[in-house]
Amino acid sequence: MPAIRYSVITPSRGDRPAALAHAIDSVFAAADNAALPHEQIEVLVGFDGVKGRRVHTSSSIRYYDFPADNDYGNAIRNGLLKASKGTKVLFLDDDNALTEQAFAVYECFTHIEMLVARIDISRAHPKPWIPVIEQGKEPFFQGNVDPLCLCLSRELVTVRCGGWLGTGYEADYLNMFRYFRRTKSIHYTEKLVGIYDAGRGLDDGALNFRQQALLS
């Protein structure tokens, strides 16, 4: 059995199967583009308080039905991290997607503990992408980095940083900042690896609070 290189952490509300299928499809399309065997990737999907639909069946995908989280998927991310086996960790929510070149980019930086890559946020925000990198300014700050930007060493995330901790909407940044503070190596690239809100609108009435506010 080949060693698992990448663990893809995917919390899901369970009410947008089309978007979830799109997110999973994007993972394996990116793997194929990089000539990366599917057996070296695991997609861990954690459903929030429901027995969610198993949108794809594959030995590379594992589904978990968690008790209701009601906390932006924070406990679910931590539970999935505990179950993960990959050398590297990616965070891919069920309404986001990887670009076709994502794994080709990740494979260039396997020696880096914390890779921060560009993602397209034009479907959700006025600016086209993050992070915005300005000369002489540290790019790692709140609002300029999203979990989708990151490819991380699982040892950094689960051993040195204890997984995904905390509660509330700000947990995203607080966890990322903890990884940033404790990493032994970091690299920023302008290569595009993700599309934020790629699955928005694929499932009727399955928008999150931010998407609802944006469309209204």
State the pTM of this model: 0.94
DSSP assignment letter at 8: E
Which residue in this structure is represented by tokens 């921060």? Answer: 116
Q: Are 149 and 117 a contacting pair, CB within 8 Å?
A: yes
pLDDT per residue rounded down to tens, the chain (216 residues): 579 999 999 999 999 999 999 999 999 999 999 999 999 999 999 999 999 999 999 999 999 999 999 899 999 999 999 999 999 999 999 999 999 999 999 999 999 999 999 999 999 999 999 999 998 899 999 999 999 999 999 999 999 999 999 999 999 999 999 999 999 999 999 999 999 999 988 998 655 555 555 555
- 110-143 pLDDT, tens digit per residue, is 999 999 999 999 999 999 999 999 988 999 999 9
Which domains does the chain show, CATH number per domain?
Answer: 6-215 (3.90.550.10)
Give burial (CB, 10 Å; 0-12/13-18/19+) of 71: middle
How far is it between the farthest Cα atoms of the chain? Answer: 49
CB within 8 Å of 23: residues ≥ 6 apart: 10, 92, 93, 94, 95, 96, 97, 98, 198, 199
**Both structure tokens of 156:** 């950094």
Q: Judge residue 199's burial from the number of C-beta atoms within 10 Å of its C-beta, 0-12 exposed, 13-18 middle, 19 or more buried.
A: buried
CB 51 within 8 A of CB 64: no
Residue type, 28: F
Task: Indicate the helix (H) or strand (E) that contains 134.
Answer: none
Q: How far apart are CA 30 and CA 89, in angstroms?
A: 15
